Chain A
Amino acid sequence: MTDTAMDIETVQTGEAQVKDYFALMKPRVMSLVVLTAAIGMFAAPGGVHPVIALATILCIAIGAGASGALNMWWDADIDAVMKRTANRPLPSGVVEPGEALGIGVALSIMSVLMLSIFGNIFSAVFLAFTIFFYVVIYSMWLKRSTPQNIVIGGAAGAFPPMIGWAVATGGISLESLLMFALIFLWTPPHFWALAIFRNEDYVKAGVPMLPVVAGDRATRNQILIYTLLLFPVAMVLAFTSVGGPVYFAVALAYNARFLWGAWSIWKRDEATATADKFKTELRVFLESIGYLFALFIALGIEIMLRALDLSWSGWPVLF
């Protein structure tokens, strides 16, 4: 190594760029949080001023980003050994662990405080609890200790629509609980479809994911069970004040596809899956991402139809 090369390396340590800090906040997870929180907020009765909506959704997104940064800080050791996460800012050495911790803690505090001012105290406490749940309960405690890590940890990802609803109403309702249940029950089959074909990664990292601990067959059974449980929850939402015919049609089509996918995964075994390089599992994993986006966008369409007074007044609101 020449002197010049050494100089460059020394100087560049810890000099991450803006995009590296942004990557620390898990932008893809943040996009889902923004969508679900916004739908939760706009679906709620009463309505929120657009400026307040923008400010509060920003707080929720930053809170989610902060917990993502804290998760990366805590999990840097296992991220480094897994193929999927090896090029994250911490394992790749672009961002220092102390920076990630600092950014995570500072943004967590800021987002909660600002949400209490922009929105209300209840939603701010809810956001603080969500950050605590994701970072402490999921990342620090459950992820490395139980194969049910995804099931319980999934709650953290399911809270944003409830926080959005809480910003608008200051409370909780059946509709917001159902939106929570939708994401909560969707998370296990979504992640386990990934875990089946990324099994080696989790074994290497020592994370007790269900396929690692209980085996391939048990995971396939669980994927089908959770997808079956998800179906009625998604359909009941169509008959609440936030649902409608558009959501009903979209939910029916996407649930049928997700169920078909879960059934296809259940029918196969490890040998068949290995032979075709987990083609079905990968397809269902990708489809599951589309599933959640589609259902929440359908709820968004219902909100717009109601705002334009175009919703069908004869639609039965049973719950």
Chain B
Amino acid sequence: MSIDQTATHEIYTRRKGRNVAVLLILLAFVALVFAVTIVKMSNGASMEAFDHAIRPSILPEVSE
């Protein structure tokens, strides 16, 4: 069975289009996570989570 060169080129163009889209989505995702992190840290949000050990910094504040 012969391989048609035009068809091969066409499929590469499609794949390239998809790969570029995936790249752009990943870059946008990284930028979004970075931006959200900056905003959350600027607003003083607690960025620490449970880690099997008691840490005073993540205990809820008790009003006097």
Contacts and interface: CB of A to CB of B under 8 A. Distances in A.
Given A15-B15, A49-B39, A118-B36, A4 B21 contact: no
B4 A12 contact: no
A49 B2 CA distance: 59
Contact of A7 (B3, B32, B38, B40): B3
A7 B4 CA distance: 7
Interface in B1-55: 1-4, 7-8, 10-11, 14-15, 17-18, 21, 32, 35-36, 38-40, 43
A172 interface: no
B7 A18 contact: no
Interface residues on B, range: 20 to 34
A8 B36 contact: no
B11 A15 contact: yes
A117 B34 CA distance: 12
Interface in A1-38: 3-4, 6-8, 11-12, 15, 17-18
B43 A7 contact: no
Contact of B21 (A3, A7, A18, A58): A18
Given A18-B18, A55-B32, 20 more contacts: A4-B2, A4-B4, A4-B7, A6-B1, A7-B1, A7-B2, A7-B3, A7-B7, A8-B10, A11-B7, A15-B14, A18-B21, A51-B35, A51-B36, A51-B38, A52-B36, A52-B40, A54-B32, A55-B36, A58-B32
Chain A interface secondary structure, helix, strand, loop or mixed? Answer: helix
Contacts of B21: 18
Interface of B: 1-4, 7-8, 10-11, 14-15, 17-18, 21, 32, 35-36, 38-40, 43
Chain B interface secondary structure, helix, strand, loop or mixed? Answer: helix
Interface residues on A, range: 10 to 19
Interface of A: 3-4, 6-8, 11-12, 15, 17-18, 49, 51-52, 54-55, 58, 117-118
Nearest to A118: B36
Contacts of B18: 17-18
Contacts of A55: 32, 35-36
A58 B35 CA distance: 14
B49 to A, nearest CB: 10
Contacts of A118: 36
B39 A11 contact: no
A17 B17 contact: yes
23 contacts: A3-B1, A3-B2, A4-B2, A4-B4, A4-B7, A6-B1, A7-B1, A7-B2, A7-B3, A8-B4, A8-B10, A11-B8, A11-B11, A15-B15, A17-B18, A18-B17, A51-B35, A51-B36, A51-B39, A54-B32, A55-B32, A55-B35, A118-B36
Contacts of B14: 15, 17
Contact of A52 (B7, B10, B11, B39): B39
